């Protein structure tokens, strides 16, 4: 048998990265994700699978997702970790939206036939997807891809009043990507709510098994905070909370934000950063400071200054200038851990790890 070649449909980089992760998870379920590769081609991905796949097996796992969607519709609240995570991405979370989102998901699973529709190199065009009205296709809700332009009023209404539609299979796989391949950070601050999504993708090419490992770090993961978090702090936070990912080469983080303030929703453009250096640094920090995720949670993400310091650290690592800035950053971290308001003495005991942090940062 020649290897199976699949292509993401060509909607936009964000939606295609979700669909790529959805496809990889489906291949894992079908027992065929051990040998093969994922290659970035512009805004799309090409997946080569060298193993035989058993789609019946994958479809049995899909059934569980369908049952959870049905339960969610029935009880009008998200049921199960996967659905809860998908729903955490949506800042416009009315009951009506919940119903229509999971109605689309459960019918997409019901209609699903085969992953092989993506053997078509031009899937999105061939199946008439895009900004055109359609009775058979599903709306791409905003967390599934910032493709609407910047400002919107309530209920996803855009100026031209035509939503971006994708076929049920693209909708299903994008949802799976959100659940299994993305880290979600949700921020609730007064009447401003936002969700920040981070997806890791190969900048050039990766083994299928590496993408699987990325998913192990992010699956089921979402966190909620009630303070502002600069977007540049997000890759560091995402990688700190997940399972440690050792030095993958050529990995990019795609980050997109969905914000709601009063009745208005906003999708700023996505950003893309190479995180090869950051992966090494975070592995080093976790090695020297096993309690690092706890320190993040209890100190950095409980204090308004914390996320700003994390953003500086992240930026210095990504730009490869950490050695020049290390003592400034270390001083700020010591100030944060030693803060006077820390009456319960939660952070001060961590002061002793500051030296370990400097060592970890100097070593990577
Ligand atoms: Zn499609």
End-to-end C-alpha distance for the chain, whole angstroms: 44
pLDDT at residue 150 in the model? 42
pTM (two decimals): 0.92
How many angstroms separate the alpha carbon of residue 103 from the centre of ligand 1? Answer: 17
How many angstroms separate the alpha carbon of residue 93 from the centre of ligand 1? Answer: 25
Q: Percentage of residues in the chain with pLDDT exceeding 70?
A: 93
How many angstroms separate the alpha carbon of residue 198 from the centre of ligand 1? Answer: 22
How many angstroms separate the alpha carbon of residue 266 from the centre of ligand 1? Answer: 25
How many angstroms separate the alpha carbon of residue 233 from the centre of ligand 1? Answer: 33
3-state secondary structure of 189: strand
How many angstroms separate the alpha carbon of residue 314 from the centre of ligand 1? Answer: 36
Among residues 237, 231, 222, the alpha carbon closest in space to that of 257 is found at 231
Encode pLDDT of 11-55 as tens digits: 989 999 999 999 999 999 999 888 999 999 999 999 999 999 999
- Whether the pLDDT of residue 177 is over 70: the answer is yes
How many angstroms separate the alpha carbon of residue 65 from the centre of ligand 1? Answer: 19
Mean pLDDT confidence for 81-101? 93
What is the average pLDDT value for the chain, to the nearest integer?
Answer: 88
| Distance separating alpha carbons of residues 64 and 80, to the nearest angstrom | 10
How many angstroms separate the alpha carbon of residue 346 from the centre of ligand 1? Answer: 50
Q: Give residue 146's pLDDT band: very low, low, confident or very high (50, 70, 90).
A: low
| Distance separating alpha carbons of residues 255 and 47, to the nearest angstrom | 22
| Distance separating alpha carbons of residues 177 and 13, to the nearest angstrom | 13
Supply φ then ψ for residue 271, to 5 degrees: -120, 160
Q: Got the DSSP string for 52-87?
A: ---HHHHHHHHHHHHHHHHHHHHHTS--SHHHHHHH
For the purposes of burial, counting CB atoms within 10 Å of the CB of 326, is it exposed (0-12), middle (13-18) or buried (19 or more)? middle
- Whether the pLDDT of residue 293 is over 80: the answer is yes
Q: Got the DSSP string for 307-359?
A: HHHHHHHHHHHHTT-HHHHHHHHHHHHHHHHT-TT-TT-SSGGGGGHHHHHHH
Helix (H) / strand (E) element for 200: namely: strand 192-202
Mean pLDDT confidence for 211-227? 90
Helix (H) / strand (E) element for 235: namely: helix 234-241
Encode pLDDT of 262-292 as tens digits: 777 777 778 899 998 899 899 889 988 999 9
Mean pLDDT confidence for 52-77? 96
Q: Got the DSSP string for 251-316?
A: EEEEEEEEEEETTEEE-PPPEEEE-HHHHHHHHHHHHH-TTHHHHIIIIITTSTTHHHHHHHHHHH
Could you tell me which residue, 184 or 244, shows the higher pLDDT? 184
In the chain, the largest separation of any two C-alpha atoms, in whole Å, equals 67
Mean pLDDT confidence for 211-225? 90
How many angstroms separate the alpha carbon of residue 214 from the centre of ligand 1? Answer: 24
Q: 30 near 183, Cβ under 8 Å?
A: no
Beta bridge partners of 189: 192
Mean pLDDT confidence for 235-247? 82
| Distance separating alpha carbons of residues 133 and 168, to the nearest angstrom | 14
- Whether the pLDDT of residue 247 is over 80: the answer is no
How many angstroms separate the alpha carbon of residue 261 from the centre of ligand 1? Answer: 31
Q: Percentage of residues in the chain with pLDDT exceeding 90?
A: 61
Encode pLDDT of 113-128 as tens digits: 999 999 999 999 888 8
How many angstroms separate the alpha carbon of residue 63 from the centre of ligand 1? Answer: 20
- Whether the pLDDT of residue 153 is over 70: the answer is no
How many angstroms separate the alpha carbon of residue 296 from the centre of ligand 1? Answer: 39
- Give the range among 60-64, 249-253, 304-308, 340-344 with minimum mean pLDDT: 340-344
How many angstroms separate the alpha carbon of residue 29 from the centre of ligand 1? Answer: 20
How many angstroms separate the alpha carbon of residue 123 from the centre of ligand 1? Answer: 6
Encode pLDDT of 132-143 as tens digits: 777 667 777 777
- Whether the pLDDT of residue 93 is over 80: the answer is yes
Rounded (5°) CA angle 8-11-16 = 45
Q: How many C-beta atoms lie closer than 10 Å to residue 10's C-beta?
A: 19
How many angstroms separate the alpha carbon of residue 249 from the centre of ligand 1? Answer: 30
């Amino acid at each position: 048998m020649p290897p199976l070649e699949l292509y993401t449909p060509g909607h936009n980089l964000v939606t295609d990265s979700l669909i790529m992760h959805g496809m990889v998870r489906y291949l894992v379920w079908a027992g065929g994700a051990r040998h093969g590769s994922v290659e970035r081609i512009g805004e799309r991905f090409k997946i080569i699978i060298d193993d035989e796949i058993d789609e019946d097996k994958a479809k049995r796992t899909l059934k569980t997702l369908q049952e959870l969607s049905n339960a969610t519709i029935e009880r009008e609240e998200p049921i199960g970790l996967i659905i809860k995570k998908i729903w955490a991405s949506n800042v416009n979370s009315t009951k009506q939206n919940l119903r229509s989102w999971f109605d689309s998901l459960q019918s997409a699973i019901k209609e699903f036939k085969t992953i092989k529709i993506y053997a078509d190199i031009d899937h999105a065009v061939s199946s008439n997807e895009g900004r055109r009205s359609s009775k058979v296709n599903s709306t791409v809700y905003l967390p599934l891809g910032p493709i609407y332009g910047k400002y919107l009023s309530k209920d996803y209404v855009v100026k031209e009043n035509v939503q971006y539609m994708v076929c049920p299979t693209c909708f299903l796989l994008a949802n799976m990507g959100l659940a299994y391949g993305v880290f979600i950070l949700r921020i609730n601050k007064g009447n401003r709510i936002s969700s920040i999504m981070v997806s890791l993708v190969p900048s050039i090419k990766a083994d299928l098994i590496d993408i699987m490992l990325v998913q192990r770090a992010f699956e089921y993961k979402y966190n909620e905070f009630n303070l502002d978090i600069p977007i540049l702090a997000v890759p560091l936070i995402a990688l700190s909370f997940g399972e440690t990912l050792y030095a993958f080469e050529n990995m990019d983080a795609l980050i997109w934000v969905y914000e709601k303030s009063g009745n208005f929703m906003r999708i700023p453009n996505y950003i893309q950063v190479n995180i090869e250096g950051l992966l090494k640094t975070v592995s080093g920090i976790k090695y020297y400071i096993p309690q690092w995720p706890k320190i993040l949670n209890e100190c950095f993400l409980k204090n308004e200054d914390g996320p700003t310091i994390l953003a500086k650290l992240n930026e210095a690592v990504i730009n490869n200038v950490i050695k020049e800035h290390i003592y400034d950053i270390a001083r700020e971290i010591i100030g944060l851990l030693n803060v006077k308001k820390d009456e319960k003495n939660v952070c001060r005991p961590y002061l002793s790890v500051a030296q370990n942090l400097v060592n970890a940062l100097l070593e990577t």
